[in-house]
Amino acid sequence: MLSSSRLPLYSSLLLLSLSLPTWAATQKVDLDYRVRFLPESDQAEVSITLEKGEHVRSLDFNLGKQGRYSDFKADGQWAEDAGRGKWQPGKGKSTLSYRVLIDHQRKPGRYDARMTKGWTLLRGDDLVPPAALDMADKTDLVARLQFDLPKDWKSVETGWPRIGKNRFRIDNPQRKFDRPTGWMLAGKLGTRRTQLGDTEVAISAPVGEGMRRMDIMTFLTFVWPQIQQVFPRDPAKLLIVGAGDPMWRGGLSASNSYYMHADRPLVSENGTSSLVHELVHVFGRIYARDRSDWIAEGLAEYYSIELMRRAGGVSQERYQKIREQLISWSKPVTSLRTDNSNGAVTARAVLLLQELDREIRQKTKDKGNLSLDDVTRGLMRLDKVSTKDFIDITENVIGGPSKTLDTRLLR
């Protein structure tokens, strides 16, 4: 039995424990993005609205040095300095609005973001620049994206799940600040859809741009089972967008989507596939550090060949010819260590990875025939990978040092 002298303390602790769930529970705060495209000025008007601004102390945006963002208006405080903009929302419902230029040339005459009178193709990353978020503890932002389209524009596509007309749910568990990243396309569009595994796939392009949507869908259906065996990920949605000239004549990936120029072949004459290459980037999400870009680009190119071979689309004879081309192309390469791999470096990386796969298979016959796939799945667990990480994971899979990786190419 508690003594009378201890009753006040006990009562206080009891009251405190009863009140904990109320103030310790996570507070969900609506974060709404609204985008209005303005084809006449090559701009988009963007607003960011917090339903309860007092839960966010600040958003510190990296606006870059290109001057793409302008006309800022804010509830609360807004300040710009040296390519950054800091928003301190007011209490209650608070909105930041601005305009952003859409057109962007990756190199002269070649666009990786473009707006015409009938459509626009861009990355959502550019609509809302990256920002450092400072918010109250126990706060969870619930983000949604709404588009207001020009009168004669019919539809919009993103790599995010659709929750209404021109409306999408943005949810990235790896980030506190859910930005509407990835490729986006709006206007007069043609779109094909299918379900592959647990993933909703949409292939979309402006009408009249020559995008071979059914060819891409058929090819994906053919190679998808092989991709699933290597990469243990089933994204809820995958968006593939494309257009013709003067867009960038290549492929560019994001976390939930990727872009392909309409004229890119599904399989190139050298036996590789840009389509599968970019798909590996989307599924693998392997990012390099410490002059180790050869890992990300080498694996994407390696699997662009290997997955087609496993699916039965590349004969052994053709596979050997592809190797001969890679050997010839990569002869001048003396090192793989670089921040940005060119074609020759990537070709040499593919040869090294092919040799490594054979070594792993030979040395792990008693362990269940492990392969480079097991190394790749290990790399997927890291935020960014270095050459040392790659070697360490490989040696862990093999159970000892790798002869293939003991090379001056990696020093």
pLDDT, tens digit, for every residue of 171-219? Answer: 988 788 999 999 999 999 999 999 999 999 999 999 999 999 999 999 9
Q: Where is pLDDT greater, at 367 or 136?
A: 136
1 pLDDT band, cuts 50/70/90, is very low
Give the residue-averaged pLDDT of 373-383.
Answer: 96
227 located within any domain: no
What DSSP assignment string belongs to 266-322? SS-TTS--HHHHHHHHHHH---B-SSBHHHHHHHHHHHHHHHHHHTT-S-HHHHHHH
100-125 as b/e: b if 16+ CB within 10 A: bbbeeeeeeeebbbbbeebbbbbbbb
pLDDT at 176: 86
**Integer Cα distance of 104 and 198 in angstroms:** 34
Look at 74 and 2; give whichever has higher pLDDT: 74
Q: Cis link prior to 21 (omega < 30° from 0)?
A: no
Q: What is the mean pLDDT of the chain?
A: 92
Residue 102 lies in a domain: yes
Residue 198 lies in a domain: no
Which residues 6+ apart lie within 8 Å of 82 measured at CB? Answer: none
Q: Which of 187, 202, 227 is the last residue of a domain?
A: 187
Domain boundary among 187, 211, 233: 187
Give 125-169 pLDDT, tens digit per residue.
Answer: 999 999 999 999 999 999 999 999 999 999 999 999 999 999 999
Confidence of residue 20 (pLDDT cuts 50, 70, 90): very low
pLDDT band at 366 (very low <50, low <70, confident <90, very high): confident
Q: Mean pLDDT check: name the lowest of 118-127, 150-159, 267-276.
A: 267-276
Q: How many domains does the chain have?
A: 2
Whole-number percent of the chain with pLDDT over 90: 88
- Segment among 86-95, 151-160, 266-275, 357-366 with least mean pLDDT: 266-275
The confidence band for 8, taking pLDDT boundaries of 50, 70 and 90, is low
Q: Is residue 405 part of a domain?
A: yes
The boundaries of the domain holding residue 143 are: 27-187
Closest CA to 308 of 270, 251, 256, 357: 270
- Tell whether 291 and 171 lie within a shared domain: no
Residues 313 and 175 occupy one common structural domain: no
Q: Where in 197-270 does DSSP place strands (E)?
A: 199-206, 237-243, 251-253, 257-261
The Cα 219–Cα 205 span in angstroms is 17
Q: Are both 172 and 300 inside the same structural domain?
A: no
Residues 183 and 75 reside in one and the same domain: yes
State the CATH number of the domain containing residue 66: 2.60.40.3650
Does 277 score more than 90 pLDDT? yes
For residue 266, tell me if it sits in a domain: no
Angle separating helix axes 213-230 and 293-310, nearest 10 degrees = 100
Write 266-269 long-range contacts (CB < 8 A, 24+).
266/212, 266/215, 266/216, 266/219, 267/308, 267/313
**Whole-angstrom distance, CA of residue 91 vs CA of residue 184:** 32
Residue 15 has pLDDT above 60, yes or no: no
Of 130, 157, 187, the last residue of a domain is: 187
**Is residue 323 a part of any domain in this protein?**
yes
179 and 298 housed in the same domain: no
In whole angstroms, what is the distance from residue 166 CA to residue 187 CA?
11
379 within some domain: yes
